[in-house]
Amino acid sequence: MVKKKDITKGLPDPSPLMDEILAKYPTKIAKKRKKGMVINDPSEEQEIQANIRTIPGIITQRGCTYAGCKGVVLGPTRDIINLVHGPIGCSFYAWLTRRNQTRPAEGEDNFMMYAFSTDMQDENIVFGGEAKLKDAIREAMEIFNPKAIGIFSTCPVGLIGDDVHAVAREMKAETGINIFGFSCEGYRGVSQSAGHHIANNQVFKNVVGLNDRDRKGKFQINLLGEYNIGGDAFELERLFEEAGIELLSTFSGNSTIKSMEYSHTADLNLVMCHRSINYIAEMMETKYGIPWFKVNFISAEGTAKSLRKVAEFFDDAELTAKVEEIIAREMAKVEAVKAAVKPKTEGKLAMMFVGGSRAHHYQDLFNELGVTTVSAGYEFAHRDDYEGRHVIPDIKIDADSRNIEEITVTKDEELFRDDLVAKKEAAVAKGMEFSDYVGMMPEMKKNSLVIDDVNHWETEKLIEFYKPDMFCAGIKEKYVVQKLGVPLKQLHSYDYGGPYAGFEGAINFYNEMERMLGTDIWKMVDAPWKSEPEIVGSFAFNG
Amino acid sequence: MLLRHTTDKVKERKALTVNPAKTCQPVGAMYAALGIHGCLPHSHGSQGCCSYHRSALTRHYKEPVMAATSSFTEGSSVFGGQSNLLQAIGNIFQIYEPDIIAVHSTCLSETIGDDLAQIVTKARTDGKVPEGKHVIQAPTPSYVGSHVTGYANMLEGIVKYFPTKTDKLINQINLLSGWVEPSDMKELKRIMGLMKVNNVLLPDTSDVLDTPMTGKYAMYPKGGTTIPEMVSMGDSLHTLALGEWATNKAAIALDNSCKVAFTQEDLPIGIKATDRFIQALSKVAGVSVPESISDERGKLMDLITDMHQYLYGKRVALFGDPDQLIPLTEFLLDMDMKPVYIVSGTPGKKFEKRMSALLSERCPEAKFKNGPQADMFLLHQWIKEEGVDLLMGNTYGKYIARDENIPFVRMGFPILDRVGHSYFPTLGYMGGIRILEKMLNEIMSYQDATCPDEKVELVM
């Protein structure tokens, strides 16, 4: 067994590791990669390079703009036909692979199990694909009769000059249903992140605000940036429902387009994944006056804190009492499991390189189990997700971010909620924080190593240096890391488990960590004859 | 119902594909390239392509799948991807140290007209390819053909580069494998051993995508066809190419460049296709068929005759790739089953011809289609019109199987929700036994689970 780092007197200085990593790179690349690595000191303002191009040839975790737009943001919405305009692969790979669970009522539309594509052929590339796209929409109308269709552009679409927005307008007029396009060609940005932004813009422009429905509940909220992987959103729906909070729409786990249409009638927006959805939160506040704050329902403490903050905002005695009742009951269950699991997990080391919020959120869950995160980073986040939102004005706009449309949102004079603005001001006066995200780095230990857009070479070196007990990343990293004898927990797909959000989620995660950190199976990897003296002799040797 | 919008009436479509029975070229190129030793596949396009293909292969094999990408941005898409690829080649050799980089294109780089051959040549003249290292390339436009086409194109790229003709023939044959599992490649090598035929198998993903847990990670596992083996293919006596869609191009290219004649056979799936493979092997290598092979054939025949009652007349729906579907259809017909519905998203006119020849007399009610709109939505509609007793295809079939309550055998790519395909072959006579075991298990479990209490059989 390899001896792991002693961290009882604080985390080791990772400078030698950084030097070793960078020594392998050509000089120019070493310089670039160095800016994406920070030896963390939470007492200081530190800058990390993030959301910049991956260097060609580097084995990155990142995907493309299309993946962020179709796969992440719109993929979980069940009653829209997400039609992918392009060659077949893009639609094929985004087909059910993200585990966004959904629970339609009997007879309700649910297109989640379907992959729709125009399957562009060479003649469409040469002569243009707009006619085929229109025909595909007509066929989809005739066969499926959906309430909405989204058109997703793949790489060749922009290059050959197909105008998906013009087609969307024309077909919207022809069919009478809501049809809108996304210019989310894979190359548009440096990662999935650009796709999130494009999706936010189009959903805000084309869906949010279509239905000024009357109030249904006393406390109306939206949950933004929760994608119901492994049923996370179901657990949160359970908590809100019991508390008497009307969850209008989730963007976009277990969601419908219909619910997004009246999401602007909410009193408050909760932001889970800041990276993928903060744009809609901001735009809704500008246009309708709906305040937002960051929540984290990953970890039991985080869930309790987030629920309390919602109750504090609404400032209603009955709601507060109900929330406290739920927290007390659920925390008792959580504490019982934690007490059984924590002795087996305490003192272990974890590292996580994933997504744009999970590498931060899951540190809270590990903290609850006494597991220290020695190194972490995001796959596609921006500086604000590392350093906090206060750095946003300082973030340099480069050519890659300039590609993405910035839409101008103005106040809706009729629907703007002055009452919410006043409510927010009163809450701020009492010390509540809004429109903020502190980021990952201030909440990580001194000397932890923060790396943006980690790559394969760096992953191998990290494991060699820290000998972690647990590595969290995605499917592409999973078996590499496990071959090295370190268990990997996928934090995109949850290894087909979950939910891990909310109180029940925390319990599930504790049990999962007990399984993964407690098993002796890794100790059996070496065959006994590797460590015992070899038998000399040849009595049964047939050679 | 999972697929609650699937209608039971087939409506003509010409533009919309729903639930495809294929994916795009580059993943095939990536898979083929993983079957050569010391090779890092490289995807010349946006990051997403590489990420998606690696993810799909990883989920299918539950093994590390390494590949690099040119990471195109808007700039490279407008001005061309040459500088990205040149930079990538330099970086890969310095950081990841492969012996070979196998570059394939994408719809993006093809649409903007990047010429891989020219860029790779420039990489060489610019000194980005170290001495003794290799860069090979294959065009894999995603808007032509399917994943199988990509596999075929990369195989062609490999044989255009490595095999070299000298004046000395080598006493060996080339075996070009279609898209099959590592277990199948291992099985082909075992059969060659039984037949005592010296051979070079290309590609060979065994010991690459089925590696042991050792506590160590090898970026380039011990398996894969080696450079000396590939070079020697130019001096082989003959090429046996298995699976026309996947290997024909490479067989022709090798014949053209090195004058190694070839014989095109189906993948050896089932009895007759394996018979043809064994006989062709015997002929081109000049060896007789050993008793051990006859025994294996006999065991397969024995199992079929033992269990015939559970197979006879069963209506089967199939989806997948032509190279698998053609011999599989033949195998099912030989066992008196009825392959009534067959779709493949992979185009190719020969599919229609081959299927007609197989089915027109023995199963005239069969419906089959390949190419555009030959998707799983159509297959499901046919099933809704008149049901089947068994469904065979990749993991995506599970939604149809659950909705329609049909026994389901996973075969093909990708299999995301079961294991075994990496270890247990479906090629050859022994592979036939495994296919049969899987079919019988599903059919018989279905009977066990659904028959009335008084009809439960202890002995079957």
Q: Which domains are delineated in chain A?
A: 1-61+346-384+440-496 (3.40.50.1980), 65-188 (3.40.50.1980), 219-345+389-429 (3.40.50.1980)
Q: Give the closest of A139, A156, A400 to B15, CB-based.
A: A139
Residue of B nearest to A523 (CA): B215
A262 burial level (CB within 10 Å; 0-12, 13-18, 19+): buried
CA distances in angstroms from A510 to A344, A498, B13, listed in the order given: 10, 11, 50
Burial of B457 (0-12, 13-18, 19+ CB in 10 A): exposed
Catalytic residue among A78, A99, A188, A196: A196
For residue A48, report the phi and psi dihedrals to the nearest 5 degrees: -120, 145
Can you spell out the DSSP letters for B87-108? Answer: HHHHHHHHHT--SEEEEE--HH
How close B456 gets to chain A, by Cα (Å)?
34
Position A405 scores a pLDDT of: 86
Q: B20 and A160: CB-CB below 8 Å?
A: no
Give A403's pLDDT tier (boundaries 50, 70, 90). confident
Taking alpha carbons only, the member of A424, A56, A103, A123 closest to residue A250 is A103
Residues of B in contact with A90 (CB under 8 A): 24, 48, 52
Closest residue of chain A to B24, computed from CA coordinates: A89
Question: What pLDDT band is residue A73 in, cutting at 50, 70 and 90?
Answer: confident
Is B400 an interface residue toward A (CB < 8 Å)? Answer: no
pLDDT for the residue A538:
62
B181 min Cα distance to partner chain A (Å) = 18
pLDDT tens column, B261-278: 999 999 999 999 999 999
Contact A159 B95 (CB under 8 A): no
CA distance A36 to A21: 12
Report yes or no: A450 and A308 within 8 Å, Cβ to Cβ: no
Query: Which residue among the candidates A50, A64, A90, A266 is catalytic per the annotation?
Result: A64
CB contact under 8 A, A89 and B23: yes
pLDDT band at A85 (very low <50, low <70, confident <90, very high): very high
The DSSP secondary-structure symbol of B418 reads: -
What per-residue confidence (pLDDT) applies to A542?
Answer: 61
* Shortest distance, CA A527 to any CA of chain B (angstroms): 9
A383, A459, A483, A466: which is closest to A60 by C-alpha?
A: A459
Tell me whether residues B14 and A135 touch, CB distance under 8 A.
yes
Distance, in Å, from the CA atom of A403 to the CA atom of B33, rounded to the nearest integer, reads 34
Residue ranges of alpha helices (H) inside A291-417 are: 300-314, 317-345, 358-368, 383-387, 399-402
Contact map slice: B 68-107 vs A, CB within 8 A: 68-77, 84-85, 87-92, 94-96, 106-107
CB A495 within 8 A of CB A487: no
What are the tokens at A528?
Answer: 């006994």
* Interchain pair A117, B17: CB under 8 A: yes
In whole angstroms, what is the distance from residue A5 CA to residue B322 CA? 54
Determine, for residues A67 and B142 on separate chains, whether the beta-carbon distance falls below 8 Å.
Answer: no
Q: What is the pLDDT of residues A299-350, one digit of tens each?
A: 999 999 999 999 999 999 999 999 999 999 999 999 999 999 999 999 999 9
Residue A541 has pLDDT above 80, yes or no: no
Of chain A, the percentage scoring pLDDT greater than 70 comes to 97
Q: Among the options A30, A53, A98, A308, which is catalytic?
A: A98
CA-to-CA distance for B296 and A258, rounded, in angstroms?
Answer: 61
Q: Which of B53, B73, B108 sits opposite A156 (nearest CB)?
A: B108
Chain A residue at shortest CA distance from B112:
A159
User: pLDDT tens digit string along A464-487?
Assistant: 999 999 999 999 999 999 999 999
Hey, which residues 112-141 in chain B have their CB within 8 Å of chain A? Answer: 112, 141
**Sites in chain B below the pLDDT cut of 50:** none
The answer to whether the CB atoms of A186 and B46 lie below 8 A apart is yes
pLDDT of residue A1: 43
**Domains in chain B and their CATH numbers?**
25-161 (3.40.50.1980), 173-289 (3.40.50.1980), 292-454 (3.40.50.1980)
**B183 touching A (Cβ < 8 Å):** no
pLDDT above 70: residue A439: yes
With a cut of 90, say whether residue A89 has pLDDT above it. Answer: yes
Question: Are residues B48 and A57, on separate chains, in Cβ contact within 8 Å?
Answer: no
- Which among B2, B59, B142 is the nearest to A89, CB-wise? B142
Active site residue A67: yes
Whether the CB of B9 is below 8 Å from some CB of chain A: the reply is no
**Could you tell me the sign of the dihedral formed by the alpha carbons of B152, B18, B60, A485, in that order?**
positive
Residue B60 in contact with partner chain A when CB distance is under 8 A: no
pLDDT in tens, B316-338: 999 999 999 999 999 999 999 99
Nearest CB partner across the interface for B4, out of A89, A110, A478: A110
- From A187, which residue of chain B is nearest by alpha-carbon distance? B73
Query: Edge-to-edge, what's the strand order for the sheet holding B39-43?
Result: B68-69, B39-43, B100-104, B134-138
CB A102 within 8 A of CB A76: yes
Check: CB of residue B196 under 8 Å from CB of residue B290. Answer: yes
> Which residue(s) pair with A350 in the sheet?
A373, A470
pLDDT tens readout for residues B155-177:
999 999 999 999 999 999 999 99
DSSP A70: I
Cβ-Cβ contacts under 8 Å, B27 against chain A: 89
CA atoms of A421 and A431, how far apart (whole Å): 15
Chain A residues touching B49 at Cβ < 8 A:
64, 89, 186
Q: Is B51 on the interface with A (CB under 8 A)?
A: yes
Q: Please count the residues of chain B.
A: 460
Given strand B238-242, what is the order of strands in its sheet?
A: B199-202, B173-177, B238-242, B262-265
Higher pLDDT, A543 or A429: A429
The shortest CB-CB distance from A63 to any of B48, B95, B144 is to: B48
The CA-based dihedral angle spanning residues A121, A123, A124, A130, taken in that order and rounded to the nearest 10 degrees? -140
Nearest residue on chain B to A85, alpha-carbon basis: B16
Q: A536 or B2: which carries more pLDDT confidence?
A: B2
Q: How many CA atoms lie within 13 A of A505 on its CB side?
A: 32
Can you give A161-188 as a three-state secondary structure string?
A: CCCHHHHHHHHHHHHCCEEEEECCCHHH
Chain B residues touching residue A122 (CB < 8 angstroms): 141, 143-144
> Which of A3 and A76 is assigned the larger pLDDT?
A76
pLDDT, tens digit (0-9, with 9 covering 90-100), for A117-165: 999 999 999 999 999 999 999 999 999 999 999 999 999 999 999 999 9
Is A64 a catalytic site residue? yes
- B396 chain-A contacts, CB cut-off 8 A: 95-96
For residue B18, what is the nearest residue in chain A, using CA coordinates? A116
Length of chain A: 543
